[in-house]
Structure 1
Amino acid sequence: MIWPRSCDVKRIYLLIRSKKGKSMQERLKSQLNDPVYDNLRSQQPDFTRKVIPVEGDISELGVGLNNEDRMKLAQEVNVIFHVAATTRFEEPLKKATFINVRGTREIMELAKCCKDLRSFVHVSTAFSNATKSRINHDLEEKIYESPVPPEVMIHLAETVEECRLNAITADLIRDWPNTYCFTKAIAEDVVRTMGKDLPVAIVRPPVVICTLNEPTPGWVDMSSVIGPSGIILTILLGVMHVLLMSDINIPLAPLDYVNNAVIAAASEANKRYNNNEKEIKVYNISCSGCKIETSCLSDLMNNPNTQQYVTPKAVWYCYAFSTGSDVIFWLLTWLLHYIPAYVADFVFNVTSMKRPEGIKSFVKMYEKINNMSLLYAWSYYSNWSAYLV
């Protein structure tokens, strides 16, 4: 988002698909109208002309490109940032494979067709190899052995019925905490095998939180409000009141730091390639020793002086309890989340009162919040926090 102020980029092709009744042009226009671009817009009012949408889908063969667009990209693209992925931790293995593994293969095929490719950056995750067997070991800046050969995994996803694949998923992923980390590990092997003769780099971000400085402090994309940022936001909105966590170490990085690292990796990959250094470089982005104390978060939210910073859009009084006990967590979840949600749904269903914008069911909303809380529970992160380097 700071690129036009840093260098003279001729154009950026953005692979995008139609979604939820919106065309790719409508989705891009909506994105670029976000206030986060106001600073850039004030300096370069016509910057949107440089962003060109290309109809495609990362989950499709050939990433869904038509021949005309594919030829244009092959002729004009110099740098590829492969950021597209499904980040749903519990995505069905078939879909996760199509997007994270086969999608990476298809993008690598496109990269090989580019006439003047100067750099290819694959954005992975710091947890691609966060397995149970590696607890208390550092995550090194290298490509680990793939849990399953990429072509074998792709073949399974293409030929095995989804219900059968789901039935064997637990055995397939074994050491990995979820299908997301599992498929991202395989995707790195795709890059290793297909990128041997290309200027390639792999960047592994940790948990990405809101921006620190650029383009404006505290910004986060609302479609990506998960993890620590989403937890704090839901607390400040008076929606979430219970956390299943204890004091834990979580590797975090502000979004602008990650963006800058990805751009720097692209430049470095080009320099290394020109110097005949063909080995694929891996970059782990980490804030070693960064510790989130959830008890402090609870104390902060229960402090009367904190209430002056709560958003005026809060739907209830803002407070939060954190606990490491499953029993206490579920008891408080029903008392403070589900029971009020069922009551609210009943009231709105039997009256003509208008629900808050974006909320169709309070119960379903709390199911999503509860799932997010469980994903970031202390027991979950106990497998991940050991990989700080």
Structure 2
Amino acid sequence: METTYSAEELAAMPDRIAATFSNRSVFVTGGTGFMGKVLVEKLLRKCPDIKQILLLVRQKKGKTPRQRMEDTLNDPLFEKVRTMRGGIEPLLEKMTLIAGDAIEPDLGLSPADRQKIIEEADIIIHAAATIRFDEELRKAVFLNVRGTKLVLELGKQCKRLLLFVHISTAYCHLHEKLLEEKPYPPPADPHKIIQIMEWMDDATVAAVTPFLLKKLPNSYAFTKALGEALIVEALDILPIGILRPSIVIPIYQEPLPGWTDNINGPAGLLIGAGKGVIRSMYCKSNSYADYLPVDIFINGIMICCWEFIEQGIHNIKVVNFTSSAEVKITWEEMIEAGREIILNKVPLNGVAWYPGGSMKHSRLYHNICVLLFHWLPAILVDCLLWCLRYEPVLCRVQRRVTKGFEVFEYYTNNQWDFHSDIAQKYRNDLNPRERLEYKVDASGVDISRYFEDCILAARRYILKETDDTIPAAKRHMKVMWCVDKLFRICFWALLLYWISGWFSSTPTAVPEAIST
């Protein structure tokens, strides 16, 4: 039986993970992305004695790095740490914003900023990457491969470097149905791929992309494998840890349950189904994918920094952070749980059709359903909107859904398993306080509650639908239920009428009389 500790007993225990970052400078790439924001928030909140976070930030949409970071710190994600630290300014004082871009040559760094990193960085966490599966190959190579090479070269020059953490992915070696915690050969030479992307024109890149990818489904898997290969080359030169998370999904626990800043992956699927625009999916419903809440993985990053630096474990180079060894949720279970929550607890506003549909094991059946229940209603509604002089929207939405399915189907119809022995071993090294404050296990996880938090957060922060509209959304859902039932009755009645009319109009064959 697990021992229960009081708040006073827990507070008396040391927080060795936070102490690892005390009076140290951490250089972070990708800090303005989904995963990076959660990492920065956790460092600011749990490590008050951190010396500084050197954050690579590019100019975007005419905003300077400081303006972008001010916008980021005003996000609801940072509300808790803003309250703890007394506002945005104390947080900015802990951060040194470095103007640059991981996709640019030399990372777009000024000589002064480069020298500052070389002189002061104790830990490098390289998380910058494009996670778009359908990204154009040149851009994916420049960011995921060349960007990794440039950060690695910068790390080799750092005078105080204790650890270089590279964020890879558990889905970068898709030919391995069982991914172990070890390096694997890359699908191509990363140095040559960088070279050819630098001199080829766009038309040539587009022409050779299928040849380069071979059996890999997208540029993301290809370039992340190449980026990891560059890191593997430097394992004997630098103190490196390669961390492979599975599919990273919204926050489970802290600081804001369910928070996300995008609708990639399962969150987008639940929203699309909840809005009624996704009615069919080609998928092995009894298969499962491996998901990892982003806060669980961020905790894992910080624990690995402690293990690698303070515990002196230098022979461990690759750590898989996955969840399916403990929690297996099939696609069908996930969709059914999401449907139950959206129908009865947290409905979405502006539902186009009553949430329904199903997963199809036959591609032909799926394609027929997509035509009948995705495209046909979208065309009819857009024609009505056009006649009423409103902007047509549903066909555009369906094009995005179809494009997403093209990428999604590869992962939903294949199965992978992962060894995560090292990550599980690290849990045993934590004291009770650390296990609570840096949760990396599935004990006490309420999947239904988590999905409800995800849908509610998506409603608030992605769709910008306020909680006071939930009662109206529930009433609208009841109306859509009636419309859906009426449509089904009319559809089947017309189908039966057409079939009966077709049979009645078909001439009966009469045997020819045989004359004598």
TM-score interval, smaller chain: 0.7 to 0.9
3-state secondary structure, aligned to 2:174: coil
3-state secondary structure, aligned to 2:179: coil
Query: Where does residue 293 of structure 2 map in the other structure?
Result: 254
C-alpha deviation, 1:205, in angstroms: 0.4
Change (3 A) 1:16 1:336: farther
> Out of 49, 54, 77, which is 2:93 matched to?
49
- 2:168 is aligned with 1:124: yes
Q: Is the Cα–Cα contact under 8 Å of residues 248 and 291 in structure 1 kept in the other structure?
A: no
Query: Where does residue 131 of structure 2 map in the other structure?
Result: 87
Query: TM-score, normalization: structure 2?
Result: 0.67
C-alpha deviation, 1:217, in angstroms: 1.5
Identify unmatched segments of 5+ residues in structure 2. 1-40, 421-516
3-state secondary structure, aligned to 2:399: helix
Give the letter for the 1:240 counterpart: I
Query: Where does residue 103 of structure 2 map in the other structure?
Result: 59
Residue correspondence of structure 1 range 13-28 to structure 2 within 5 A? 13-28=54-69
> Out of 176, 200, 212, which is 1:172 matched to?
212
3-state secondary structure, aligned to 2:102: coil
Query: Where does residue 249 of structure 2 map in the other structure?
Result: 209
Instruction: State how far apart, in whole Å, the 2-side matches of 1:63 and 1:261 are.
Output: 27
Q: Is the Cα–Cα contact under 8 Å of residues 270 and 335 in structure 2 kept in the other structure?
A: no
Residue correspondence of structure 1 range 103-122 to structure 2 within 5 A? 103-122=147-166
Q: Is the Cα–Cα contact under 8 Å of residues 196 and 280 in structure 1 kept in the other structure?
A: no
Q: Deviations over 1:52-83 (max 9, x none)?
A: 33221111111111112111222222211111
Query: Where does residue 269 of structure 1 map in the other structure?
Result: 308
Instruction: State how far apart, in whole Å, the 2-side matches of 1:324 and 1:23 are.
Output: 49
> Out of 391, 403, 410, which is 1:371 matched to?
403
3-state secondary structure, aligned to 1:80: strand
> Out of 23, 31, 44, which is 2:72 matched to?
31
Instruction: State how far apart, in whole Å, the 1-side matches of 2:268 and 2:419 are.
Output: 22
Instruction: State how far apart, in whole Å, the 2-side matches of 1:220 and 1:237 are.
Output: 18
Give the letter for the 2:281 counterpart: L
Q: Is the Cα–Cα contact under 8 Å of residues 324 and 417 in structure 2 kept in the other structure?
A: no
Change (3 A) 1:252 1:297: closer
C-alpha deviation, 1:349, in angstroms: 4.2
- 2:180 is aligned with 1:155: no
- 2:115 is aligned with 1:71: yes
Q: Deviations over 1:172-196 (max 9, x none)?
A: 2224232211111111121122342
Residue correspondence of structure 1 range 97-108 to structure 2 within 5 A? 97-108=141-152
- 2:293 is aligned with 1:293: no
Change (3 A) 1:299 1:254: closer
C-alpha deviation, 1:51, in angstroms: 3.1
Query: Where does residue 264 of structure 2 map in the other structure?
Result: 226
C-alpha deviation, 1:340, in angstroms: 3.1
C-alpha deviation, 1:117, in angstroms: 1.3
C-alpha deviation, 1:139, in angstroms: 0.7
Instruction: State how far apart, in whole Å, the 1-side matches of 2:192 and 2:80 are.
Output: 47
- Most deviating of 112-121 and 249-258: 112-121
Q: Is the Cα–Cα contact under 8 Å of residues 196 and 278 in structure 1 kept in the other structure?
A: no
Q: Deviations over 1:342-367 (max 9, x none)?
A: 344444445455x6xxxx84322222
Query: Where does residue 345 of structure 2 map in the other structure?
Result: 309
Query: Where does residue 240 of structure 1 map in the other structure?
Result: 278
C-alpha deviation, 1:314, in angstroms: 4.0
3-state secondary structure, aligned to 2:67: helix
Percent of residue pairs identical: 32
C-alpha deviation, 1:208, in angstroms: 1.0
CA-based RMSD: 2.5
C-alpha deviation, 1:286, in angstroms: 1.3
- Most deviating of 189-198 and 233-242: 233-242
- Most deviating of 36-45 and 339-348: 339-348
Query: Where does residue 333 of structure 1 map in the other structure?
Result: 370
> Out of 316, 319, 333, which is 1:283 matched to?
319
Q: Is the Cα–Cα contact under 8 Å of residues 217 and 407 in structure 2 kept in the other structure?
A: no
C-alpha deviation, 1:265, in angstroms: 1.8
C-alpha deviation, 1:147, in angstroms: 2.1
Instruction: State how far apart, in whole Å, the 1-side matches of 2:59 and 2:415 are.
Output: 35
Query: Where does residue 321 of structure 1 map in the other structure?
Result: 358
Give the letter for the 1:371 counterpart: K
Q: Is the Cα–Cα contact under 8 Å of residues 130 and 384 in structure 1 kept in the other structure?
A: no
Change (3 A) 1:340 1:31: farther
Q: Deviations over 1:319-357 (max 9, x none)?
A: 34221222222222233332333344444445455x6xx
Give the letter for the 1:12 counterpart: I
Query: Where does residue 380 of structure 1 map in the other structure?
Result: 411
Change (3 A) 1:198 1:10: same
Instruction: State how far apart, in whole Å, the 2-side matches of 1:72 and 1:201 are.
Output: 23
Q: Is the Cα–Cα contact under 8 Å of residues 118 and 157 in structure 2 kept in the other structure?
A: yes
C-alpha deviation, 1:210, in angstroms: 1.4
Instruction: State how far apart, in whole Å, the 1-side matches of 2:62 and 2:376 are.
Output: 34
C-alpha deviation, 1:101, in angstroms: 0.7
- Most deviating of 79-88 and 259-268: 259-268
Instruction: State how far apart, in whole Å, the 2-side matches of 1:361 and 1:81 are.
Output: 41
Give the letter for the 1:84 counterpart: A
Instruction: State how far apart, in whole Å, the 2-side matches of 1:344 and 1:388 are.
Output: 48
C-alpha deviation, 1:382, in angstroms: 4.0
Query: Where does residue 19 of structure 2 map in the other structure?
Result: none
3-state secondary structure, aligned to 1:330: helix
Change (3 A) 1:318 1:301: farther
How many pairs align?
373
Instruction: State how far apart, in whole Å, the 2-side matches of 1:212 and 1:6 are.
Output: 17
Q: Deviations over 1:283-332 (max 9, x none)?
A: 001123543333345545666x8623233424333334221222222222
